Chains A and B, each alone.
Chain A
Amino acid sequence: MTTRKPKAAPIVINLFFAVLSAAILAPLLLVVAISLSSEESLLHNGYRFIPAQWDTFAYEIVLRNPLQLLQAYQVTIGVTIIGTACALLMTSMAAYAVSRRDYRYRRPTLLFIVFTMLFNGGLVPFYILVTQYLNLKDTLAALIVPYLVSPFYLLIMKGFLEKLPVEIFDSAKIDGASEWRIFLRIVLPLSTPALATVGLFISFAYWNDWWLGLLFIDEQKLVPLQLLLYRIMDTIEFISANMDLVNVNLTMAKFPSLSTRMAMAVLAAGPMMFVFPMFQRYFVAGLTVGSVKS
């Protein structure tokens, strides 16, 4: 499109985006800088982009007794893997059924599922259902089950599956294959790009979720990563959760809570900041398909 462009404009625009990118990146760097500052310099000089005094002590504290962090990672990884697998299977099964134009209950099924996007009972009935009737409070299932089928992902998946050529299904049926067999042996292998895209969305949702934890998890052992970060936002709670650390020759006053909390945030959010951007392309592809086709 831009084969013959005037020279000045792109440079100005590039410069504009360079400044913008720097401005967007800066807040993240501030968090990293705080985590790498010594506690004293933070108390005296406040938060700065360039630490007055570099110090990795905050990281040593967290990593010397990483149980809490590791446990949270374990919960989040487990929930993400199990949740994504189950959600992907349920979503693609239903999406395949409603993607088949000859399926008699295609429209009612679709309406039944999409209607839940437009109207819902709100937080309280959902909360009471999960805690009083399904008894899922303080279970791993409470972090997984509520997100299993999202109409939005189902529509994206359906959009992909509708592009598969109908002839394959017809010839498979003539050969006497059941729908289950067609789904498992033909549809799934043919739709790996779609599965990857939707799976990425689902795992991203599970990984970054704090909502279900906030509602249903009180027990320390089951706290997922994001909820852990929320809980230690409160200094007092952070120190009490790390009480055993304080015994290790640190008095309360010297406990590096400011920098350590930021170090915790870096260790909890950092790794995924390198993983998710690699899949950026799929995020956009999935969303444009979803929004145009829904």
Chain B
Amino acid sequence: MRILSWARAEWKHGRRNRELFMLALPAVTFKLIFNYLPLVGLIIAFKKYNFAKGLWGSDWVGWDNFRFFFQSDTALRITRNTILYNGAFIVLGTVIAIAFAIMMNEIGRRWLKIHQTVMFLPYFLSWVVVSYVTMGFLDHKSGFLNQLLTFFGQDPVRWYETSAYWPVIIILVYLWKSVGFSTLIYYAGILGIDSSYYEAARIDGAGKMQMIRHITIPLLTPLVVILFIVAVGNIFRADFGLFYFIPNDVGFLYGATDVIDTYVYRSLRVVGDIGMSTAVGLYQSVVGFALVLTTNYIIKKINSDNALW
């Protein structure tokens, strides 16, 4: 009886909310097809996928794909690369952007506009275009860096074959493309700080550095924390374009530039090991999901106001 009356009440609610439901329906259906339906396809991770036999017909292999992956050197390599690069991006990107934003706050509006616009420019380029820029610098024969080295009597370096330089190159390229953008976000955050704090501090005779340390940075913290959680939650997801186009997908460099996303792509499109590719993708999703939940949990413990949910 209870169920029946519940159903009747729900039906009534449903009718009242029908129009709003219909408005949301296209987006919900879209997500159902493109994000929930593919979850079924995760069974491929436990199969030896065969195009002829299809999703359901392919043979089960249990945990073989995972076992094979974790026993190879690749697992360590791409996991380490993904986490270390993203970690470096988070730390360097945040620190530099905050420093720039604080400095920007000290100069007049007229010049500021120009600096901001120029620093923002690389953000509008796609990674493909950026790869042309890096090629201009790194090309063996004609690249600018090798011209410079020869000019100073040094031997040219075969950049695209020497993996030792790539951690620095990748991080520099990343910062070049993104720092203007993140600086602007933190600058907007600083502008949002109530100016009466600064006035009060000035009356009390506080210096510039004191104001930065005791007003700007503490009040910027919530924004930093939010962006930090989001970034840590995504630490297992690499920016495919950066790691695929900038090293030009050169095999020599995989040790230093191969990340989970490029590996999954190559397994699917080049090697054609679909089961393995799915397994690695699943590994990425599960660990990534666990990371978001953990970071949010920890932040909540420390200061519940800053947590995402």
The answer to whether A binds B is yes
Q: Is B158 an interface residue (CB 8 A)?
A: no
B residues in contact with A221, CB < 8 Å: none
A261 to B119, CA, bound (A): 25
* Cβ A14 vs Cβ B111 within 8 A: yes
A residues in contact with B241, CB < 8 Å: 210-211
Q: Is A20 an interface residue (CB 8 A)?
A: yes
* Cβ A129 vs Cβ B41 within 8 A: yes
A254-294 CB contact bits vs B (8 Å, 1 = yes)?
Answer: 00001001100100110011001100100111011001101
Residues of B that sit less than 8 Å from A by CB: 13-14, 16-17, 19-24, 26-28, 30-31, 33-42, 44, 54-55, 103-108, 111, 114-122, 124-129, 131-137, 139, 141-144, 146-147, 176, 180-181, 184-185, 188-189, 192, 195, 198, 202, 208, 223, 226-227, 230, 233, 240-241, 245, 248, 261, 264-265, 268-269, 274, 277-278, 280-282, 284-285, 288-289, 292, 308
Question: Which residues of A from 57 to 114 have beta carbons under 8 Å from B?
Answer: 90-91, 93-94, 96-98, 100, 103-105, 109, 112-113
* Cβ A30 vs Cβ B292 within 8 A: no
A145 to B27, CA, bound (A): 12
* Cβ A34 vs Cβ B115 within 8 A: no
Indicate whether A25 sits within 8 Å of B118 (C-beta atoms), given known contacts A183-B23, A229-B129, A269-B129.
yes
A29 to B142, CA, bound (A): 16
* Cβ A93 vs Cβ B23 within 8 A: yes
A262 to B143, CA, bound (A): 13
A residues in contact with B37, CB < 8 Å: 129
Q: Is A47 an interface residue (CB 8 A)?
A: yes
A278 to B140, CA, bound (A): 37
Shortest Cβ-Cβ A-B pairs, 8 listed:
A122-B281, A125-B41, A94-B27, A125-B38, A179-B19, A97-B24, A121-B38, A46-B142
16 A–B contact pairs at CB < 8 A? A14-B108, A20-B115, A27-B136, A28-B133, A47-B139, A48-B144, A105-B24, A116-B31, A120-B38, A125-B278, A149-B30, A230-B128, A233-B131, A233-B248, A262-B132, A268-B129
* Cβ A124 vs Cβ B41 within 8 A: yes
* Cβ A24 vs Cβ B180 within 8 A: yes
* Cβ A208 vs Cβ B278 within 8 A: no
* Cβ A98 vs Cβ B24 within 8 A: yes
Max chain A CB contacts within 10 Å: which of B16, B107, B240, B265?
Answer: B107
A residues in contact with B115, CB < 8 Å: 17-18, 20-21
A127 to B37, CA, bound (A): 12
* Cβ A277 vs Cβ B122 within 8 A: no
* Cβ A10 vs Cβ B226 within 8 A: no
Minimum CB–CB distance from A56 to chain B (whole Å) comes to 18
A residues in contact with B227, CB < 8 Å: 291
Indicate whether A14 sits within 8 Å of B107 (C-beta atoms), given known contacts A47-B144, A93-B24, A113-B31.
yes
* Cβ B144 vs Cβ A46 within 8 A: yes
* Cβ B133 vs Cβ A20 within 8 A: no
Chain A interface SS verdict (over half): helix
* Cβ B147 vs Cβ A47 within 8 A: yes
A141 to B251, CA, bound (A): 33
A residues in contact with B285, CB < 8 Å: 119-122
Q: Is A45 an interface residue (CB 8 A)?
A: yes
A110 to B167, CA, bound (A): 39
A residues in contact with B121, CB < 8 Å: 24-25, 28, 273, 277
A79 to B281, CA, bound (A): 28
Minimum CB–CB distance from B223 to chain A (whole Å) comes to 7
* Cβ B126 vs Cβ A90 within 8 A: no
Residues of A that sit less than 8 Å from B by CB: 1-2, 4-6, 9-10, 13-14, 16-18, 20-21, 24-25, 27-28, 30-31, 34, 42-43, 45-49, 90-91, 93-94, 96-98, 100, 103-105, 109, 112-113, 116, 118-129, 132, 145-146, 148-149, 154, 178-180, 183, 204, 208-211, 215, 226-227, 229-230, 233, 258, 261-262, 265, 268-269, 272-273, 276-277, 280, 283-285, 287-288, 291-292, 294
A183 to B22, CA, bound (A): 12
Indicate whether A269 sits within 8 Å of B27 (C-beta atoms), given known contacts A97-B20, A125-B278.
no
Minimum CB–CB distance from B17 to chain A (whole Å) comes to 5
B residues in contact with A104, CB < 8 Å: 13-14, 16-17
Q: Which of B39, B105, B134, B284 is the one whose CB lies under 8 Å from A125? A: B39
A residues in contact with B185, CB < 8 Å: 284, 287-288, 291
Minimum CB–CB distance from B176 to chain A (whole Å) comes to 6
* Cβ A129 vs Cβ B38 within 8 A: yes
Minimum CB–CB distance from B193 to chain A (whole Å) comes to 8
A249 to B118, CA, bound (A): 41
A residues in contact with B233, CB < 8 Å: 118
Q: Which of B36, B44, B240 is the one whose CB lies under 8 Å from A124? A: B44
B residues in contact with A30, CB < 8 Å: 133, 136-137, 144
* Cβ A34 vs Cβ B188 within 8 A: no
A residues in contact with B134, CB < 8 Å: 27
Minimum CB–CB distance from B40 to chain A (whole Å) comes to 7
A6 to B136, CA, bound (A): 42
Give the nearest-CB partner of B10 in chain A.
A104
* Cβ A265 vs Cβ B132 within 8 A: yes
* Cβ A269 vs Cβ B125 within 8 A: yes
* Cβ A105 vs Cβ B136 within 8 A: no
Known: A154-B27, A210-B241, A211-B240. 7 other contacts (CB 8 A): A46-B144, A47-B144, A93-B26, A122-B42, A122-B280, A229-B126, A280-B120
* Cβ A276 vs Cβ B26 within 8 A: no
* Cβ A273 vs Cβ B136 within 8 A: no
A residues in contact with B274, CB < 8 Å: 124
